Structure 1
Amino acid sequence: MNIRRWSVGVLAATLLVPGLTACKSDDAAPTAAGSAASAAPADPKEALLASTKEIEKGNFTFTLAGAGLSGKGLVHKPSNSAQFSMKFDDESGGMSMGMELIYIEPDSWVMLDLGELGAMIPGAEKWKGKYQHLDQSKVKGAGELSRYMEEVDPAGSAKLTKSVTEVQKTAEGSYTGKLDVSAAGDAATLDADLVKALGAQAKTLPFTAKLDGEGRLTELVISVPAAGETKAHDIKVTYADYGNATAAQKPPADKVVEASPETYEMFKK
């Protein structure tokens, strides 16, 4: 079983390894809401490119949804911590799975709820309902857990805005246009197999975006047409609490076990 098939693998990588410490020092200080950034540039494309700058400072909350997956979390650079929870519901088969990730430098934990698939994994009962403490030396060799160690943007919005090919401002703080997601590389919200299945359509995906009064990205919605086995759906990412997120909390000691070899194996490609 490959975790990336039912989750956003890059999100796991972002939150499970010490990526939050990779920010440049001049970006590390949190900025209070209302003074975080200048107003959006007049040029629509420049406005979108500038809208993700505050994300790089690593102090915000976010949500993510699309194709049966929903999640929410926080990144808190001041405490070098992050937290993310997600749930996946398979519309065709009724299967449901969930995952929660916590990173507090230098430790990280993962809680997995694999639903019916859990019965197929040896020893899964031992960590059911528990947070598995991860050995960082093993994380670095576990495929998806070790990717993008220097990323702070969980959904890859900065990469996505750079792939904008057309954009118009429709109202104050509102934009619409098209993305060439084939040029977005490994943005976390995109699965390489889906991009491949989209073919030429990947170069012209419609999107809408919203910015707050300080020019910071608050919502990005990408409309994805049906491709391969995937139905048409929207990918929606939101950001909030710039400069005002709270630190992630360590899981209760009585709910922690050491991660099993099977857990590391599941994240490998």
Structure 2
Amino acid sequence: MSMKKLAVVLAAGVTLAGCAEAGTTPAGEKGTDGKAALSQSLDGLQAGNYTFSRTDGGLVEGAVDVPGSSVIRQEGRPSILRVGDAVYLRYRIYGEAQEQYAKLFEQYSDKADKKQAAALAKSKEILTILDGEHWVKADYKRLVAAADAEDLSGMENLPPTPTAAKPDVTGASDLVAAVVTATREGDEITGTLDATKVDPQLNLLTNDPYYAYGPRANAMPFTATLDAQGRLAELTLQLPGQLKDAASQAPETFPSDAPTEPAGKPIVITISQYGGTAAQTAPEGATDLDPAAYEQLTNDTD
């Protein structure tokens, strides 16, 4: 090789090395800024067909096929099944206290007049319908009204409705929107998110993260795993222990060694069956929810 050709080769090598050093690390390699990859990983959810689960103190499982159907099953909270325009509810009214309420209704019916006895009998009948095992066809607007009532109602925990405009009901998009730092290594992205930026109405975290966790709420660690197509497969958010005394000071003056409870269980969201989730069908034998049940639902946790 002539000295002239050698000089050209060496110059090209130096140029390429300089570009690699000054430019961005190739996607998926160690040290890559993961925010863009994390944001892109949500694209699969926007198609509106997926299966998911979420642990957040309870278990939530769902199958979404927008716009035709969806089902979201919640442990200890209302479950909602949608098939076309029809909405079905599965819920154990009064929760663990249901048997106690049944005994109370029975006890008071012996002392009630005819009208009161009929009302108590109806209330007891509703317990057998809203038993947490069977689906009943419901008026969704009336369920929402029960949730909005001033009395305490388990309907406050109604799951969100997937739509073409907002197909993601996993909670992943809302958590990712609060991400502060993110670094990608292969198919894994780690970083922190600011829990105070997450809408409390979503019921993903406590209503006031700073009050519960102090400054640590601003930098909660997470890990996201992507599938072979770069779609979000799992998102884990580590929850710190809650403060023994709720935070009442500004972040800059809050003591870093404030005593806390043990760390809580992490929130884990898993997503699969992108584009392969089957449509839901109407449950056999489902009856219409008795109109009297909606009033009972307005204060079922009071």
Identify if the C-alpha distance between structure 1 residues 130 and 153 changes in structure 2 by more than 3 Å, giving closer, same or farther. same
User: Residues 1-269 of structure 1 correspond to what in structure 2 (within 5 A)?
Assistant: 43-67=33-57, 69-77=58-66, 80-87=68-75, 97=76, 99-113=78-92, 115-119=95-99, 120=101, 122-123=123-124, 124-127=126-129, 128=131, 129-141=133-145, 142-143=147-148, 144=156, 145=158, 151-170=166-185, 172-186=186-200, 187-194=202-209, 196-227=211-242, 232-253=264-285, 255-259=286-290, 260-262=293-295, 264-265=297-298
Distance between the aligned counterparts of 1:148 and 1:101, measured in 2? Answer: 9
Once the two structures are superposed, residues 203-249 of structure 1 have per-residue CA deviations (whole angstroms, 9 ceiling, x without a partner) of 11010001112111110000001215885110000100111111112
Report if aligned partners of 1:155, 1:237 keep a CA contact under 8 Å in 2: yes
CA distance in 1, matches of 2:50, 2:28: 19
Which structure: larger Rg? 2
TM-score, normalisation: structure 2: 0.63
> CA contact under 8 A between 2:196 and 2:208: conserved in structure 1?
no
User: Higher relative contact order at CA 8 Å, sep ≥6: structure 1 or structure 2?
Assistant: 1
Cα pair 2:138 2:288 within 8 Å, conserved: no
Which runs of 5 or more structure 2 residues have no equivalent in the other structure?
1-26, 103-122, 149-155, 245-260
Deviation at 1:147, TM superposition (A): 6.5
Q: Which deviates the most, 205-214 or 135-144?
A: 135-144
1:256, distance to aligned residue in structure 2 (A): 2.8
- For the aligned residue pairs, the C-alpha RMSD in angstroms reads 3.0
In proportion to residue count, which structure has more helix?
2
Q: What TM-score results when the alignment is normalised by the length of structure 1?
A: 0.70
Partners in 2 of 1:58 and 1:149 — Cα distance?
A: 8
Q: How far apart are the structure 2 equivalents of 1:212 and 1:195? A: 33
Letter of the structure 1 residue corresponding to residue 66 of structure 2: K
Amino acid at match of 1:240: S
Q: Secondary structure at the match of 2:214?
A: helix
State the partner residue of 1:10. none
1:228 and 1:249 map into 2 onto residues whose CA distance is 45
Shift of 1:101: 2.0
2:238 counterpart SS class: strand
Deviations 1:82-119 (A, max 9, x none): 012232xxxxxxxxx36432111211111113542223
Contact 1:181 1:202 in 2 (8 A): yes
Q: Relative to total residues, which structure has the larger strand share, 1 or 2?
A: 1
Kindly tell me the number of residue pairs found equivalent between the two proteins.
218
